[in-house]
Structures are given as C-alpha cells and as structure tokens.
C-alpha cells in the first residue's frame, strides 16, 4: 500500500501488508492541537529511529511542513 492510496479511515490492510519491513506507519494520533500532534510525531520518530516513517496523510496535514520534512524526508501534502 502506498501513502497516496491511503485517503480516509478506516484503513484496511491485507494480511501480507501488516509486515511492512522498514516502513513505520503512523495511522492515527489523538491530540488536542498541532503542537501536541507535532510532539507525538517527534516521539514516534524517536521510538522507530530506523526505517522510513510514513504518517497517514490526515496526520501529515496536522503537522507544520518543515517539521514533517525533517522527520520523514517528505513535505506535507498541500491542503
């Protein structure tokens, strides 16, 4: 599954898609605002310090573009 294929919830993965190898997916964050969402994403990056970090596109839109680029190597999608 590619990040651009994931648009909305619910996210449905086939059995063989649960093992994504070096890809660390973040599908959901429960946070009251952008600052907390950014901190959650930063902490997640520390926990999964190896491999590719790919937040769900809805999460990516909640984090400022510069921070997201630093953590994932990719900019947030245009709103």
Give 52's strand partners. 23
Query: Residue 46's pLDDT is what?
Result: 85
75 pLDDT tier (thresholds 50, 70, 90): low
Q: Where are the domains of the chain?
A: 3-72
Question: In this structure, what token pair is assigned to residue 72?
Answer: 């994932």
**Does residue 37 or residue 9 have the better pLDDT?**
37
Does an H or E element contain 24, and which?
Answer: strand 23-26
What is the distance between the alpha carbons of residues 30 and 18, in angstroms, rounded to a whole number?
22
């Amino acid at each position: 599954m590619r990040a651009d294929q994931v648009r909305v919830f619910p996210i449905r993965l086939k059995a063989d898609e649960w093992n994504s190898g070096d890809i660390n997916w973040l599908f959901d964050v429960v946070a009251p605002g952008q600052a907390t969402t950014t901190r959650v994403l930063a902490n997640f990056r520390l926990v999964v310090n190896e491999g590719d970090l790919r937040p769900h596109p809805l999460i990516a839109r909640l984090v400022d573009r510069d921070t997201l680029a630093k953590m994932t190597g990719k900019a947030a999608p245009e709103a």
